Every structure is written in C-alpha cells, then in structure tokens.
Amino acid sequence: MKQILTAISGVFVVEPSVYGDKRGAFFESWNQRAFDALVGREVRFVQDNHSISEKNVLRGLHYQVRQPQGKLVRVVSGEVFDVVVDLRRSSPTFGRWVGERLSAENRRMLWVPEGFAHGFVVLSDRVEFLYKTTDYYAPEHERTLLWNDPKVGVEWPFEGEPVLKPKDAAGAPLAQAETFP
C-alpha cells in the first residue's frame, strides 16, 4: 500500500499495489497491519457499507456529532468525486475541503478520519461505493453540512443539477453547523 498525502493533515489516499498480467489483476483491498502503519495507530472498523447510485447523485456531506465515524472509502464499479471537509474547530484547516476522484479503474481509497464531513457525487452512469466505518451508524447523531455552502466552496465536477435527498439539500451551512472541538 502506498500513502498519498492531501492538503489536510490526517486525510490521505491509499493506493494499493496491483499485480496484473494477461489473466487480470490482484490486489489486497484490506490489510489491517499495513493500514494501521499508514495511520500511525490501531484503527478498528465495525461496519461495512455498500452504496449504489446513479450519475449526478450527490450524497452528503454527512458526519455524526456523537459516535463520529472514521471511514475508509473506495469504488468497486464506476467513478465518484469524493469530498471531505474539516470540521475540527481546533484545526488550522477548519472549514477547508479536499476532493479525490475514486474509481474502479484507479483502485484508490480515501481515509476520512473522525471529525470530518464526507460526501461524493457520481461521475459515471452508475457507481458501487464501499466504505468501512470505525463506529456504527447513529441516525440521531447524524448531521449534514450544506453541499454547496459558498463559505466552504467545494468545486464539484459535474454537469447539470445534482440529484439530492431532501436532507442533503437542506444541510446546514458551516457557520451554523455543529462541529468538533
């Protein structure tokens, strides 16, 4: 596994070592020891999620104010633009975002630590998106940061209008969002 740092400390891309020949390819999509070495601590995942979405579906930007979730995300079919926003008030990058294209073709994964809002928009006709979480889903603690808050300024790379769930369309702007210390 190769670690590619982003502009926000703690958030990084994981690029697996892929071994291929005329028969196809092989790579480890998960290795506890290797991942813990990249993060610098033991990470315990408790839940795996599988999301299937169509082109221009935008999911997020979600986070949990209690039971915050670290997420290791990847695409197994299609392509997304994946976004994280730093919601840690004590961080020098509070309110900043980073985005990465994740696809079945590039096989990259993104580590989203606790304390961040997370979301993605589907760039392909259809996507299958997997993510491991460090805590269980707790709907009573889930919050949504407004996907198009001009204060955050995410540059979403899609054409037309996003397809949004009502709770995502009604997310809180950063100035009103519950955040982390």
Q: Consecutive sets of 10 residues in the chain, 181 residues long: mean pLDDT of each?
A: 95 94 93 95 97 98 98 98 98 98 97 98 98 97 98 95 97 98 96
Q: Which of 62, 63, 118, 137 is catalytic?
A: 62
Per the residue annotation, which of 19, 50, 131, 141 is the catalytic one?
131
CATH code, 83: 2.60.120.10
In a domain, residue 14? The reply is no
Q: Which three-class secondary structure string do you get for the chain? A: CEEEECCCCCCEEEECCCEEECCEEECCCCCHHHHHHHHCCCCCCCEEEEEEEECCEEEEEEEECCCCCCEEEEEEECEEEEEEEECECCCCCCCCEEEEEEECCCCCEEEECCCEEEEEEECCCEEEEEEEECCCCCHHHEEEECCCCCCCCCCCCCCCCCECCHHHHCCECHHHCCCEC
Examine the residue annotation and report whether 141 is marked as an active-site residue of this protein. no
131 included as an active-site residue = yes
Give a yes or no: residue 29 inside a domain.
Answer: no
pTM for this structure? 0.94
Q: Is residue 95 part of a domain?
A: yes
Query: How many structural domains compose the chain?
Result: 1
Quick check: is 136 in a domain? yes
In a domain, 72, yes or no: yes
In a domain, 35, yes or no: no
Question: Range of 64's domain?
Answer: 46-176
